[in-house]
Amino acid sequence: MKTKLTIFLASISIVFSHSIAQTKAKNGMVVSTSSIASDVGVDILKKGGNAVDAAVATAFALAVTHPSAGNIGGGGFMVFMNAEGNVTTFDFREKAPLKATNDMYLDEEGNLIRNENHLSIKAIGVPGTVAGLYKAHQKYGSLSWADLVQPAVDLASKGFTMNWTLYGPAERFRERQPDSFMGDYFADSQGELVQPGETWTQSALGQTLAAIRDKGHDGFYKGDVAKKIASYMKKNGGLITKQDLAKYEAIEREPLKGTYKDYEIYSMPPPSSGGVALIEMMNLMELADFEELEFNSTKYVHFVAEAMRRAFADRAEHLGDPDFNPEMPVNRLLSKDHAKNRFGEIDMQRASISDSSRFGQLYDGNSTTHFSVMDKNGNAVSLTYTLEYGYGSRLGSEELGFIFNNEMGDFNPVPGVTTSRGQIGTKPNLIEPEKRMLSSMTPTIVAKDGKPYLVIGSPGGRTIINTVFQTVLNVLEFDMEIHRAIEVMKIHHQWLPDRIIYERDMLSPDTRKALEAMGHTLSDRSRLGVLMGIRYDAENGIMVGASDSSSGEGKASGY
């Protein structure tokens, strides 16, 4: 009894609060879009695991509890900063299969075959997630690999409670695609849809995860699982072979580093465009006079949109897989001089015009997921991974139980063809065998006094870059608390199409009219971004975590 009371008192003294807005804790924090996955990560921290261990366990748990984006059939990026401020990144972006060609989505007249690059078996890239998590664990993990995968095996094999967030898509897939992999995905052993409140088990996924638990990287890329993936592809006209899988390797890369006033910003280098664009925009912000640019004022929205327009123009022109584009001018784009030049082009009274005769891209998946982790020693992980569309290609093998990505849609599909509606045809991101497609994922860690201070990221296709950028700015410039920085009004501009998207009901009609009078075109969206962040209060040794309220099942879990 005494022991129980002591444990209870200890726990309330450590977890200061847990509200919808934010969670405060001293010993560790995981913020993800699934409360179950966040708790899995925190359990690992409680067992003595470090931030990388917790990230691995959380990622595998999300593959079970948040299957629209959590995955083993997709890819992503991890930024890791240890308590001493040393930073590294892991690139586990999907790759084009060896048989891919730059005209693989075109008909005989050279036109793009509708949906071929987004919703067909050929839209699947060679998955990278298992390789990335394994590599990060091999280098920086402390607990055993099996102990980190086991919670996901249990969630899949023993099941968890079906929630309304999953049930909506479950009903839609059943209605629209009966007799398909997705039509049966949420069904029980009798073939009936599992209802909210009932236990949903995924036995095939449990077996695939058990192979990964037992054999690590090779449990996915070699042996039985690889054989089943390759035979599924062959049977259904896909391109991925055993050789593609056996050759896949995650890559540890140097992070991109920028500064904003006294802060250091670390983010993902190409093949993500996220870090380059984020740092470019923060450099531009550093030149602004925030006495003049009050948060959410017309001038503020105008300036932020103009910064976005320029960063996205640079993104379209220059960025792709660095291993195929050795000449990319990343250092120039990140330089303070480049920001000065760009700053000089901005007219504070008028919207610029995006030159639609050059580049642009309209199509974009927005089902990605981000989580942030901090452990008791102050090590931090920022991890974003994706299947591209919600539930990716919506294809999978019943024997394996997981969903394949449709990430090939992130390549430029038609060489040389760029349209004002927004399709890009520029070279850096054209399809080539074994190339990684350009991404917008922006897992980011900001350091203050050389130590992790802000861990942040979001899903949302190209809106990711802009929602992360505005959240970072809200914390660093406007000193907002993390939950407020995440929730307040955000906009998105991506050069082409040439318009500002704003969050409905969050921008005043007067501001909108004033922006239109300056030459901007505006349209609304219900929400932008699903941000998951941690801010570290070093003075008091407290981690403050917040999960975006637009995430139905999200949670900042701390202890």
Helices 145-158, 203-215: inter-axial angle, 10-degree rounding: 170
Secondary structure of residue 522 in the 3-state scheme = strand
Three-class DSSP category at 352: coil
Is residue 393 helix, strand or coil?
A: coil
Neighbours of 300 (CB within 10 A): 17
CB of 445 to ligand GLY, least distance (A): 19
CB 33 within 8 A of CB 545: no
Report the residue from 28, 67, 70, 365 that binds ligand GLY according to the rule CB under 6 A. Answer: 365
According to CB under 6 A, which residues from 371 to 390 bind ligand GLY? Answer: 386, 388
Residue 511 known to be catalytic: no
Neighbours of 529 (CB within 10 A): 25
- Residue 186 or 495: the one with the smaller Cβ distance to ligand GLY is 495
Q: How far is the CB of 439 from ligand GLY (least distance, A)?
A: 3
Binding-residue pattern over the window 424 to 443 for ligand GLY, x denoting contact by CB under 6 A: ---------------xxx--
Q: Of 45, 9, 17, 6, give the one whose Cα is nearest residue 371.
A: 45
393 contributes a contact to ligand GLY by CB under 6 A: no
CB 285 within 8 A of CB 473: yes
Q: Tell me whether residue 258 or residue 461 sits nearer to ligand GLY (CB atom).
A: 461
**C-beta separation of 280 from 468 below 8 A:** no
Examine residue 368 and tell whether it contacts ligand GLY (CB under 6 A). Answer: yes
Catalytic-role residue among 23, 89, 129, 368: 368
Cα(487)–Cα(68) distance, integer angstroms? 23
State the minimum distance, in angstroms, from the CB of residue 274 to ligand GLY: 8
In the block, residue with structure tokens 């990684």: 436
How many of the chain's residues bind ligand GLY (CB under 6 A)?
Answer: 10
**CB–CB of 452/84 below 8 Å?**
no
Helix (H, G, I), strand (E, B) or coil at 542: strand
Of 64-123, which residues contact ligand GLY (CB under 6 A)?
A: none
CB closer to ligand GLY, 120 vs 386? 386
Exposed, middle or buried by CB within 10 Å (0-12, 13-18, 19+), for 201? Answer: middle
Nearer to ligand GLY, 120 or 439 (CB): 439
283 lies in the binding site for ligand GLY (CB under 6 A):
no
Backbone torsion region of residue 223, taken as left when φ is above 0, otherwise alpha when ψ lies between -120 and 50, otherwise beta: left
Least Å distance between CB 325 and ligand GLY?
A: 17
User: What is d(CA 416, CA 409) in angstroms, rounded to the nearest whole number?
Assistant: 16
Question: How far is it, in rounded angstroms, from Cα 536 to Cα 22?
Answer: 13
Question: Cα separation of 526 and 503, whole Å?
Answer: 6
Q: Which of 91, 375, 410, 477 binds ligand GLY (CB under 6 A)?
A: 410
* Residues of this chain, 179-208, that bind ligand GLY according to CB under 6 A: none
Site string for ligand GLY, 459-478 (x = CB under 6 A): --x-----------------
Classify 236 as helix, strand or coil: helix
Q: How far is the CB of 267 from ligand GLY (least distance, A)?
A: 13
* Residue of 417, 409, 426, 424 lying closest to 461 (CA atoms): 409
Residues found in the chain: 559
CA neighbor of 77 nearest in space, from 211, 247, 259, 266: 266
> Among residues 167 and 248, whose Cβ is nearest to ligand GLY?
248
Beta bridge partners of residue 547, listed in sequence order = 532
Nearer to ligand GLY, 388 or 548 (CB): 388
CB nearer to ligand GLY: give 376 or 436.
Answer: 436
Query: Tokens 């430029």 appear where?
Result: 412
Spatial contact of 425 and 418, defined as CB atoms under 8 Å apart: yes
Nearest approach, Cβ of 344 to ligand GLY (angstroms)? 30
Smallest distance from ligand GLY to CB 472, Å: 18
Closer CB to ligand GLY, 319 or 381, in the complex: 319
- DSSP letters along 180-232, please? STTTTTTB-TTSPBPPTTSEE--HHHHHHHHHHHHHTTHHHHSHHHHHHHHHH
Q: How far is the CB of 367 from ligand GLY (least distance, A)?
A: 8
Which residue number, 151 or 460, has a Cβ lying nearer to ligand GLY?
Answer: 460
Q: How far is the CB of 364 from ligand GLY (least distance, A)?
A: 7
CB distance 122 to 87 below 8 Å = no
In the complex with ligand GLY, the residue whose CB is nearer, 208 or 463, is 463
Cβ-closest position to ligand GLY: 439
Shortest distance (Å) from residue 440 CB to ligand GLY:
4
The alpha carbon of residue 549 and the mean position of all alpha carbons in its chain are separated, in whole angstroms, by 17
Annotated catalytic residues are 368
Residues lying near ligand GLY in the complex (CB under 6 A): 365, 368, 386, 388, 407, 410, 439-441, 461
